[in-house]
Amino acid sequence: MNGLIEALANGGTLVVAEGYMWEIERRGYLQLGNYLPEVVLDHPEVIKQLHEEFAHAGSDVIEAFTYYAHREMLKLRGREEDLEKLNRTALKMAREVADRHGKLMAGNVSNTPLYEPDDPKTHEVIYAMFKEQVQWAVEEGADFIIGETFGAYGEAEIALRAIKDWGKGLPAVITIAAYVPERTTDDVPLPEACKKLQDAGAAVVGLNCSRGPETLMPLIREVKKLCTVPIAALPVAYRTNAEEKTFFALRDPKSGKRVYPDNLDCVRCSREDARKFAEEARAAGVQYIGLCCGNAPNLTRELAEVYRKEPPASRFRSRMELSMVFGDKAKEYGAEMSTTAKWMTGDGL
Ligand SMILES: [Zn+2]
């Protein structure tokens, strides 16, 4: 497979599975609140398996799980000595799975808690943290590097600069997190922030995380109007809406209580939601599509199908006509099967 630039040339598209942190948490190997990706070292097989599943579901990119694996996080949790090993292990696993399936492998740097717009010292510290992660990604054979989930334009710009300075020419994909106000936390309107990142040399710009499809897409259309490079759209897979624009704000429709982070399941996007998002994104000219938090292989398969990727997992798309109870064959069985169908649904009783 060619690199990112070639893949996106002439209107080409990439499906990119993100959202590892939440899916790994759901599987029981990561703690919300803590967010330390120690699973990479403690249970590497869990990460490898999820890479495999996303590849099977049609992701064109295997993203190394180095989200929050920056020096500050490891230091905070008393595992700073594991920093390099954790990053390299995550990158190696992603490379291995990507090679096996002919996919691209992406390194990753992400938001930190350190950024202060008016304090250049914090910018230097963050730059140094990104620099080392970028260097490891280059050495472990990444095809491109993602800088993601930045609330502040300034921190996104530092990530881009670190990738440009130390990425040995690897392209940068920079995505900003859209919160409730439609500007970065350092007050740049989101479409303009994307345009500035494009002008500073990002190969792909866009928005990821925080907002679900319904509240992200209007912003993506604005980004698309302003930018000429390929646009990335990777919402969370949760049903955000006009009143609750981010997944942090979502409430349980039953209890009215806030659901972030433990009870998000009750507002998770269905496969149909994912498909509808992919159709809208495709119509809007989004070339780099995926889902972030809340993503799972079954949702990625929907995106991949809409984007004509023919994922191996499509072989297992539902075919209810094969069902012994509800399908064509049911008619050839006795009355018991039709009674069972009625009893199961309550229809026609
Ligand atoms: Zn996310």
Q: What is the 3-state secondary structure (H, E, C) of 250-294?
A: CECCCCCCECCCCCHHHHECCHHHHHHHHHHHHHCCCCEECCCCC
Note the pLDDT tens digit of each residue in 148-160: 999 999 999 999 9
- CA 6/CA 287 separation, integer angstroms: 12
Bridge partner residues of 173 (DSSP): 146, 204
Retrieve residue 169's tokens: 């020419």
Same domain, 345 and 275: no
DSSP string spanning 20-88? HHHHHHHTTS--TTT---THHHH-HHHHHHHHHHHHHHT-SEEE-S-TT-SHHHHHHTT-GGGHHHHHH
Instruction: Compute the distance from residue 294 Cα to the ligand 1 centre, in Å.
Output: 8
**How many whole angstroms from 233 Cα to the centroid of ligand 1?**
12
Ligand 1 centroid to Cα of residue 237, in Å, is: 9
Residues 174 and 260 in one domain: yes
User: What does the pLDDT read at residue 329?
Assistant: 84
How far apart are the CA of 148 and the centre of ligand 1, in A? 9
184-203 confidence digits (pLDDT tens): 999 999 999 999 999 999 99
Measure the CA–CA gap between 18 and 222, rounded to whole angstroms. 23
CA of 262 to the centre of ligand 1 (A): 14
302 CA to centre of ligand 1 in angstroms = 18
Nearest to 24 by CA among 52, 61, 57, 65: 65
The reply to whether 22 and 96 lie within a common domain is yes
**Residue 161 and residue 244 in one domain:** yes
Q: Are residues 247 and 219 in the same domain?
A: yes
Tell me, in angstroms, the distance from the centre of ligand 1 to residue 216's CA: 13
- Least confident range of 229-238, 261-270, 320-329: 320-329
pLDDT in tens, 25-78: 999 999 999 999 999 999 999 999 999 999 999 999 999 999 999 999 999 999
On whether 227 is known to bind a ligand per the annotation, the reply is no
Give 179 Cα–ligand 1 centroid separation in angstroms: 12
User: Is-contact 155 161, C-beta < 8 A?
Assistant: no
**Gap from CA of 120 to ligand 1 centroid (Å):** 27
Give Cβ neighbours of residue 127 (< 8 Å, ≥ 6 apart). 158, 161, 162
Is 292 annotated to bind ligand? yes
- Res. 331 pLDDT band, cuts 50 70 90: confident
CA of residue 334 to ligand 1 center, whole Å: 50
Q: Domain of 249?
A: 4-317
Residue 266 known to bind ligand? no
pLDDT above 70 covers a percentage of the chain that reads: 100
Same domain? For 253 and 142 the reply is yes
Could you tell me if 126 and 256 lie in one domain? Answer: yes
* pLDDT computed for residue 103 by the predictor: 98
Q: For residue range 209-249, list pLDDT tens digits in order.
A: 999 999 999 999 999 999 999 999 999 999 999 999 999 99
Span from the CA of 292 to the centroid of ligand 1 (angstroms): 4
Would you say residue 1 has pLDDT above 70? no
Same domain membership, residue 298 and residue 162: yes
Residues 237 and 338 in one domain: no
CATH number at residue 138: 3.20.20.330
Question: What is the tens place of the pLDDT at every residue in 108-144?
Answer: 999 999 999 999 999 999 999 999 999 999 999 999 9
Residues 347 and 274 in one domain: no
One domain for residues 205 and 247: yes
Structural domains counted in the chain: 2
Q: Which two tokens stand for residue 182?
A: 């439609």
pLDDT given for residue 312 in this prediction: 98
> Within this chain, do residues 231 and 84 fall inside the same structural domain, yes or no?
yes
CB atoms under 10 Å from CB of 79, counted, come to 16
Q: Tokens 């954790």 belong to which residue? A: 86
- pLDDT at position 85, please? 98
Determine the distance separating the centroid of ligand 1 and the alpha carbon of 102, expressed in angstroms. Answer: 25
Q: In terms of DSSP bridges, do strands 104-110 and 231-234 run parallel, antiparallel, or are they unpaired?
A: unpaired
